[in-house]
């Protein structure tokens, strides 16, 4: 993440517009990092000393270093203090509060987990070498509990930060430099996600127009590419993003970087890559060139085995634990309206193979016959391929309740257990939808379809067809086990919020 120039005073909610004030202000990240530090201190102290009290009580328990008669006795309070200080040092050494990682992306969370795992691994090695008989429960509770609460604390601060960024605060003020088309594209993507902390305040593009706005962003155009310094001063921008290199030869880019004030203004180069996940990107300087290596997605080997094992374990566990709920829903459907309990439909799945998807019936029996009559109406709601209609008259009263909480999808756990679906993946389409696909959309079939997916947790039925495809393809290109866990967590939140479910 790029360093910004909002002041500590802006933490009350205001923003700084004038370049002069921004230049005199301390970076807002210092204040935010300080809050993270004190939060970490409180969490680590509560976890370590809380576990000590819970597991060992209030007595002054001691342990001995070594097994000889001259071994040294050390109190658990001393051990806790050493572990407390070491944990905070590990979080600092691994840069968990660094300006480049806080506020967006998963790297902040990964660094916290990595620092904690390595610390407790070192504790285990030291305990073995010096024959320290640490209480097992003391370590086994503090280790996972500490990670969980630390991650929860960072998540809470990130929600606070995102809420303020939605109003333009705590963000880099960005000046886009490049072609009009590339600047518009980058600007639209940044405006789509204000939570990442980049606020577009202007652009310099090859044009003779001054005072016009950049299409799709509303950002003012300050002139051509020779007006970058003037635009920085006029807009108060602290970050220059080069969106294309055709109009800027290497020497011009170097001169631009030299003209920026060190520590206050920053340079970002946006390559012509979209929807590429961070783990697939590796920057490697070669012969003075910052080459970006992009790993091609792979759908085989250990990752595929892990995903399938996870699907079997948790779908089986879900079927077992939810069997009373499944029975109650089936009974309610049977008693509330005539027709079968389950609805089966042919869908297109992995590698284009067909399978029968299983759902609780939420519509009247002749719903398919009414589909063509209603299809024309829903096109006006922004999705010309997927049929999703608010207030669909075919839905039964009990079906509306089931759909509102996504309970009609629960029988798909049997699809996951049998192997035709996965817990997380792209939405399984109908044949009629596949017939309308452009060629690139067929990449959705490189992985198994899922009960939930990235598009479901990013707006669900409120999304346009283009956004649905973009999110599904992003998942296919960048899927990982950690990403699946995040999507499952976000699915639970989306279901409880009930936004876009109909």
- pLDDT tens profile 285-333: 777 777 777 777 777 788 888 899 999 999 999 999 999 999 999 999 9
Q: Is the pLDDT of residue 3 over 50?
A: no
pLDDT at 69: 44
Same-domain status, 187 and 130: no
Longest dimension (CA), the chain: 89
92 shares a domain with 55: yes
pLDDT reading at 15 higher than 50: no
| Residue 14 sits in the same domain as residue 109 | yes
Tell me, yes or no, whether 187 and 152 share the same domain: no
pLDDT at 39 over 80: yes
Question: What does residue 263 show for φ and ψ, rounded to 5 degrees?
Answer: 85, -20
- Single out the residue in 165, 193, 210 at which a domain terminates: 165
Q: What CA–CA distance (Å, rounded) separates 86 from 267?
A: 36
In a domain, residue 284? The reply is no
Q: Is residue 1 part of a domain?
A: no
Last residue of a domain, one of 250, 272, 294: 272
What average pLDDT is seen over the chain?
Answer: 80
Q: How many CB atoms lie within 10 A of CB 171?
A: 28
pLDDT at 226 over 90: no
Nearest to 448, CA basis, from 273, 295, 299: 299
Q: What is the pLDDT of residues 175-190, one digit of tens each?
A: 999 888 888 989 988 8
Instruction: Please tell me the distance from the alpha carbon of residue 209 to that of residue 205, in angstroms, as a whole number.
Output: 9
Q: Is residue 396 part of a domain?
A: yes
Q: How far apart are CA 345 and CA 368, in angstroms?
A: 10
Query: If DSSP states are collapsed to H, E and C, what string results for 107-146?
Result: HHHHHHHHHHHHHHHHHHHHHHHCCECCCHHHHHHHHHHH
For residues 386 and 424, state if they share a domain. yes
Whether 21 and 134 map to the same domain: the answer is yes
Q: Is the pLDDT of residue 148 over 90?
A: yes
E-only strand ranges, 222-353: 239-242, 266-269, 281-286, 289-294, 342-348
200 and 116 fall within a common domain: no
Q: Is residue 88's pLDDT more than 90?
A: yes
Highest mean pLDDT range out of 120-134, 248-262, 333-347, 383-397?
Answer: 333-347
Question: Where are any strands of DSSP class E within 316-406?
Answer: 342-348, 354-360
Number of domains in the chain: 3
For 317-373, how does the pLDDT look when each residue is reduced to its tens digit (9 = 90+)?
999 999 999 999 999 998 888 888 998 989 999 988 999 999 998 887 765 665 565
Cβ–Cβ under 8 Å, residues 188 and 216: yes
Q: Please tell me what DSSP assigns to residue 15.
A: -
Percentage of the chain lying above the pLDDT 90 cut: 25
Which residues, in sequence order, are bridge partners of residue 87?
Answer: none
Name the range with the highest mean pLDDT among 4-8, 243-247, 327-331, 396-400.
327-331
**Nearest one of 239, 196, 200, 242 to 219, comparing CA atoms:** 200
Q: Hey, which residues does 345 pair with through a beta bridge? A: 357
DSSP codes joined into one string, 208-253: S-SS-B-TTT-PBB--SGGGHHHHHHHHT--EEEE--STTS-HHHH
Each residue's pLDDT tens digit, 379-433? 545 455 555 555 666 788 888 888 888 888 999 999 999 999 999 999 898 888 8
């Amino acid at each position: 993440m790029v360093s910004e120039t909002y002041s500590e005073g802006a933490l009350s909610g205001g923003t700084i517009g004038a370049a002069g004030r921004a230049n005199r202000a301390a970076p807002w990240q210092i204040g935010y990092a300080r809050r993270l530090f004190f939060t970490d201190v409180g969490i680590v102290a509560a976890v370590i000393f809380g576990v000590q009290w819970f597991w060992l009580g209030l007595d002054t328990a001691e342990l001995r270093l070594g097994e000889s008669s001259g071994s040294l006795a050390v109190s658990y309070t001393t051990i806790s203090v050493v572990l407390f200080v070491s944990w905070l040092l590990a979080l600092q050494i691994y840069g968990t509060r660094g300006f480049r990682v806080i506020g967006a992306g998963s790297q902040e969370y990964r660094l916290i987990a990595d620092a904690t795992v390595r610390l407790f691994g070192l504790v285990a090695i030291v305990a073995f070498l010096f024959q320290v008989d640490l209480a097992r429960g003391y370590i086994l509770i503090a280790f996972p509990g500490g990670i969980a609460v630390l991650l929860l604390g960072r998540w809470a601060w990130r929600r606070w930060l995102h809420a303020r960024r939605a109003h333009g605060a705590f963000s880099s003020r960005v000046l886009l430099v490049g072609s009009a088309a590339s600047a518009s594209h980058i600007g639209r993507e940044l405006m789509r996600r204000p939570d990442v902390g980049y606020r577009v305040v202007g652009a310099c593009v090859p044009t003779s127009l001054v005072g016009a706005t950049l299409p799709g962003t509303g950002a003012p155009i300050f002139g051509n590419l020779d007006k970058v310094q003037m635009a920085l001063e006029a807009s108060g921008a602290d970050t220059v993003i080069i969106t294309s290199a055709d109009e800027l030869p290497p020497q011009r880019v170097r001169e631009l970087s030299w003209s920026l004030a060190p520590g206050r203004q920053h340079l970002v180069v946006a390559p012509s890559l979209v929807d590429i996940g961070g783990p697939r990107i590796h920057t490697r300087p070669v012969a003075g060139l910052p080459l970006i290596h992009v790993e091609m997605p792979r759908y085989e080997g250990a990752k595929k085995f892990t995903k399938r094992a996870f699907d079997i374990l948790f779908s089986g566990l879900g079927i077992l634990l939810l069997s009373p709920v499944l029975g109650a829903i089936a009974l309610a459907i049977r008693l509330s309206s005539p027709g079968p309990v389950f609805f089966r439909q042919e869908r297109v799945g992995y590698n284009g193979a067909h399978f029968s998807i299983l759902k609780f019936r939420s519509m009247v029996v002749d719903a398919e016959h009414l589909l063509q009559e209603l299809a024309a109406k829903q096109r006006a709601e922004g999705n010309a391929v997927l049929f999703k209609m608010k207030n669909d008259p075919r839905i039964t009263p009990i079906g509306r309740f089931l759909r509102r909480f996504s309970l009609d999808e629960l029988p798909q756990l049997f699809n996951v257990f049998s192997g035709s679906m996965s817990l997380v993946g792209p939405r399984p389409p109908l044949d009629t939808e596949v017939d309308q696909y452009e060629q690139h959309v067929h990449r959705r079939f490189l992985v198994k379809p899922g009960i939930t997916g990235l598009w479901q947790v990013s707006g669900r039925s409120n999304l346009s067809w283009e956004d649905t495809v973009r999110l599904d393809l992003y998942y296919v290109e960048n899927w990982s086990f950690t990403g699946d866990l995040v999507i499952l967590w976000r699915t639970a939140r989306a279901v409880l919020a009930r936004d876009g479910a109909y």
